[in-house]
C-alpha cells in the first residue's frame, strides 16, 4: 500500500524521532528532548483534516453566473466540493460556478466549500451572500 505524501512525511518524522530517542536512551541523556517535542508537534499537525484559514468568496461574474472561490486551507487538501445555498438553505447545486435561474432574483445565494485530504473533510463557513438582482 502506497502512503499519501502527508503520511510519508509523518512516517519520516516518526523514524527520526525513534532514532533520537534511541540515541538518548543509549547515552542515558535527554539531549534531544526538545527536538523530539518539536517532531511530535509537527507529526500532530500533519495528521489533521484540512483547516479553513480564509472563508470562500462568492460574486456575480455576469448576469447569468455566480462564482465561488475555494478560500485558503491548511492541511494539504486533495479535493474541494462546492454546495450552493439560496437564502441559507442548500439548493442542490454544486460546482465552482452557479447558473443563475429566474427564480433566484431577489434571493441571496452563497456557497459552502468542503476540503478533503487523506485524514478527513472540513466544511468552511458559508461565503458572503450575493443578492441576485437580474438574470
pLDDT of res. 42:
62
Query: Can you tell me whether residue 86 is helix, strand or coil?
Result: strand
Name which CATH class applies to 51-131.
mainly beta
The pLDDT tens digits for 76-90 are 899 999 999 999 999
Q: What is the pLDDT of residue 94?
A: 98
Phi, then psi, of 57 in degrees rounded to 5 = -125, 130
Judged on CB neighbours under 10 Å (0-12, 13-18, 19+), 84 is buried
pLDDT, tens digit (0-9, with 9 covering 90-100), for 6-41 = 667 777 777 787 777 777 777 777 776 676 676 666
Domain edges within the chain: 5-46, 51-131
Amino acid at each position: 500500500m502506497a502512503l499519501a505524501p502527508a503520511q510519508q512525511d509523518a512516517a519520516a518524522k516518526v523514524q527520526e524521532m525513534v532514532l533520537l530517542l534511541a540515541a538518548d536512551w543509549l547515552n542515558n541523556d535527554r539531549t534531544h528532548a526538545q527536538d523530539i517535542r518539536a517532531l511530535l508537534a509537527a507529526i500532530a499537525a500533519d495528521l489533521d483534516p484540512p483547516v479553513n484559514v480564509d472563508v470562500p468568496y462568492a460574486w456575480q461574474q455576469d448576469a447569468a453566473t455566480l462564482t465561488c472561490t475555494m478560500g485558503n486551507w491548511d492541511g494539504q487538501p486533495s479535493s474541494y466540493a462546492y454546495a450552493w445555498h439560496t437564502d441559507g438553505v442548500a439548493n442542490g447545486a454544486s460546482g465552482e460556478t452557479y447558473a443563475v435561474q429566474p427564480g433566484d432574483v431577489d434571493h441571496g445565494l452563497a456557497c459552502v466549500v468542503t476540503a478533503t485530504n487523506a485524514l478527513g473533510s472540513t466544511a468552511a463557513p458559508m461565503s458572503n451572500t450575493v443578492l441576485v438582482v437580474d438574470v
